Structure 1
Amino acid sequence: MLNNDSIVALATASGAGAIAIIRISGQDAISIANSVFKSVKGKDLTKQKTHTLHLGHIVDGAKTLDQALVSIFKGPNSYTGENTVEISCHGSTYIQQQIIQLLLRKGCRMADAGEFTLRAFLNGKLDLSQAEAVADLIASDNEASHQIAMQQMRGGFSNEIAKLREELLNFASLIELELDFAEEDVEFADRTQFNELINRIEFVLKRLIDSFAVGNVIKNGIPVAIVGEPNVGKSTLLNALLNEERAIVSDIAGTTRDTIEDELVIGGIGFRFIDTAGIRETKDVVESIGIKKTFEKIEQAQVILYLVDSYELSVVSLEALKIEIEKVKNQFPLKPLLIVINKLDLLSEEKIKLIKTQLTTHNTQLQFISAKNKVGIDELKNQLLSFVNTGALRNNETIVTNTRHYDSLLKALEEIQKVKYGLETNLSSDLMALDIKEALYQFGMITGQVTNDELLGNIFANFCIGK
């Protein structure tokens, strides 16, 4: 699958800017760049040292296209492991296209999506999980997702998997050796040590698998559904959280007919807030559709904010509210539920005490706010952060965010548990060897030691061109 031809692509974002970087990689990358570059000091790029910068002009025959700074990276000491050149030119889209078209005429071809990183993987500069982390790093839009991507790109996850695979591979070799001497009934693999290894691998796999629940929501943003009856201030709360007029606010009940979504980073964690249509009995067809979507969004959410208009609360309505809270709890027992009491500015101390007395008896988390006056919003944000398990981030533990890795980890765990059962029941070595091979295969799928063109095509097709 590895091509030795020279590829070119814009490495910076498309569009006009102060500067743009055009990247070339391949065996002839430096000589191609040299053919279009005129150094201010008359340098020949093919004779320059690696990791050097050179000022000059990009020329097409007698025509000067731009003044540029050219960076040279000679293989294997480059990102791709090949000869690589980066041309830093002015950011005019016209200049970018003129230089790229010139390089195409000189023998380059346009790079496919992710082809630079694919070449880095194929040339052994990165393993597959590190290559995938490159795409995650580019896509990271908050501190937490950036931290996870950086940790994986540095090889934290890869090293953990590689170590387990190596230890298992050593025992697998001893098991295979036993099969070669089956008639002599000898045992090369110490079963006590092997059992300890299997238990350790099982423990690590379970920890990595469990981390996916946190990693997946951090990577994609934690969806939070804002629900409640019509006209309790859901849209006002969304605007207060986002600090902008994102949702339409009016005194008319049922104004929000559809769900409105927006994102906010709190403490380095991305939250995706969903302002839903008010829940009530209605004959309005359009509003009914909105209410139906509300329940669909609650199903998709990780956290539920149940907003209540405190001014409307009485002893009777508090009893009705407790019934509604129990309904939501019973319908979504695994989702954190926070009851947000709005319009704090209109409450007396006696009424606040009444609400706390009535609702805290049901183990309900309460937060008093005034969405209109933005009172209690910071406390609400802190409460949302408390629902997220960030301990692993603080401890710099490996967190799995990739669905493909998660699937391979589940399959590897299944095979390891088969081996564990085989040890407990004195299963024959040849049968255990099959399960060990399958576990090793799944480990190899994560790091790319086992791969195929279809898998690589699917992974790198999601990269941006130029990376």
Structure 2
Amino acid sequence: MTTYQLEPIAALATAPGIGAIAVIRVSGERSIEITNQLFYGKNLTEQASHTAHFGTIRNADGSIIDEVLITVFRAPKSFTKEDVVEISCHGSEFIIQQILRRLMAEGVRLARPGEFTQRAFLNGQFDLVQAEAVADLIASDSDASHRAALTQLRGGFSKQLKELRQQLIDFVALVELELDFGEEDVEFAHRDQLRQLMLTIRRVLHPLIDSFSTGNAIKNGVPTVIVGKPNAGKSTLLNALLNEEKAIVSDIPGTTRDVIEDELFIEGIRFRLIDTAGLRQATDQIEAIGIERTQQKMRDAALVIYLFDGRNSQPDEFQLAINEIRASGKPYILVGNKLDAISDETRQTLEAIADEKVVWISAARHTHLDELKSALSARVRLDAAVQTGSAVVTNSRHYAHLTGTDNALAQAIDGLDSGVTPDWLAMDLRVALQHLGELTGEITTDDLLDSIFSKFCIGK
């Protein structure tokens, strides 16, 4: 792709607020020359790429705004593949604004959100999947989300799909060429080879599509609801896991009447813990609303912690509760609370009823919480792909295009089996190509790019 330089833009590339250092990024046509007009030090227009230079930025009257360190990046060896200058100044809001005003006075425009990354994409620095990974990398707040974003930024699955898409384009061209010879019954696209290519693409797609549930959990956190009867210790458990008094704890049944949420990181995974009202027959309208919200949170959750009081769990009620949790179809963990007050005989009886592993804890005494955390991490079952750095789909836009491609290819294979005419076959293949092209950014619209890059922070 041919690179080009657009009008110069500038923005603060570091987080706003008072700090020791701030970095102002300038990119575009004449960005080095324009910055040089404000800079007192070496002549920046004569300096090599990837060099740093100390000096001062001054007002038009020659008065000093700040001492700065300027780094020069010449096209195409820069983030945007344009000429780029990065001005490192002191982190005063006043200084930052003064420098930006000086740049604007020389014809530089303030950058829109994500405009630097958008220019990098338009100049062929990376594809659209990689561009979106920049925002995910900045927003990553756990080890798993960081690794997933970094894998995408380095190419992830998009390079492989681009190669397969090109092979499919070649086949589509041959299929469409057949349409020009419709009355002569010729076949330029070898159908067995086409079938093998489509099957190969689908084999690449399926693990990516299947990884989305894991990827979504990595990116947005695992919604984990704590449910159980009143006074089972749900709020005490939430407080113990978070190591703070987040929820009100009381011996009075039904104290928790609304949903309380917070986040906990375990082994690089973000869990969104949700404390809920106890499951029982409501005694008033407010409690009934709380219990309904509990049931809704259970339906929305990715993981359920069923907490029960080991001292007061009657066998019949315990079996009924487990049956209801299992019927929900949600992954769950059985957690027995108040271990310090339970006999070995009671534990064995309840474990026999459950007929599966029970994690025994004392929430009040913080006993065996590490075992519970390990069980939570194991229950999520992050794919080995996350651990090894293989590609995981975390973006719903990517997921939609991957499934769209797969559906179109499945339909094209069915068409081959039923002997459809080349025009119908070409139609399904074009749909697959459209999805693959929009996924990697080889096919774009202004609305799509505006939607994606507007979500970026300014300065990136």
Alignment partner, residue 341 of structure 1: 336
Alignment partner, residue 351 of structure 2: 356
Q: Aligned equivalents of 1:454 and 1:353: distance in 2?
A: 62
Q: Aligned equivalents of 2:283 and 2:249: distance in 1?
A: 22
Look up the SS of the partner of 2:362 in the other structure: coil
Look up the SS of the partner of 1:444 in the other structure: helix
The residue correspondences of 1:46-445 to structure 2 (distance < 5 A) are: 46-60=45-59, 61-313=61-313, 317-330=314-327, 332-333=328-329, 335-360=330-355, 364-390=356-382, 391-445=384-438
Contact preservation (8 Å) 2:5, 2:82: no
Look up the SS of the partner of 1:311 in the other structure: coil
Q: Aligned equivalents of 2:449 and 2:113: distance in 1?
A: 12
Contact preservation (8 Å) 2:282, 2:291: no
Aligned letter for 2:237?
L
Moved more, 254-263 or 136-145: 254-263
Alignment partner, residue 28 of structure 1: 30
After superposition, the C-alpha distances for 1:171-197 in whole angstroms (9 at most, x for unaligned) are 122222333344443322222221111
Look up the SS of the partner of 2:279 in the other structure: coil
Q: Does 1:447 align with 2:447?
A: no
After superposition, the C-alpha distances for 1:325-368 in whole angstroms (9 at most, x for unaligned) are 212322x12x11211100111122222222222222xxx44110
Cα displacement (A) at 1:239: 1.4
After superposition, the C-alpha distances for 1:70-107 in whole angstroms (9 at most, x for unaligned) are 01111111111111111111112221122112212221
Return structure 1 stretches of 4+ with deviation > 4 angstroms.
none
Look up the SS of the partner of 1:156 in the other structure: coil
Contact preservation (8 Å) 1:8, 1:108: yes
Cα displacement (A) at 1:464: 0.5
- Gaps of at least 5 residues in structure 1 are none
Q: Does 1:6 align with 2:8?
A: yes
Look up the SS of the partner of 1:189 in the other structure: coil
Q: Aligned equivalents of 1:49 and 1:178: distance in 2?
A: 55
Contact preservation (8 Å) 2:322, 2:354: no
Cα displacement (A) at 1:384: 1.1
Aligned letter for 2:369?
I
After superposition, the C-alpha distances for 1:218-241 in whole angstroms (9 at most, x for unaligned) are 110001000111121111111121
Q: Aligned equivalents of 1:412 and 1:90: distance in 2?
A: 50
Contact preservation (8 Å) 1:337, 1:365: no
Q: Aligned equivalents of 2:411 and 2:321: distance in 1?
A: 46
Q: Aligned equivalents of 2:353 and 2:217: distance in 1?
A: 33
Q: Aligned equivalents of 1:83 and 1:249: distance in 2?
A: 60
Q: TM-score, normalised by structure 1?
A: 0.94
Moved more, 381-390 or 84-93: 381-390
Look up the SS of the partner of 1:387 in the other structure: helix
Figure out how many residues of one structure are paired with residues of the other and give that number. Answer: 455
Cα displacement (A) at 1:112: 0.5
Q: Aligned equivalents of 1:62 and 1:35: distance in 2?
A: 11
Q: Aligned equivalents of 1:6 and 1:237: distance in 2?
A: 55
* Identity in percent: 49
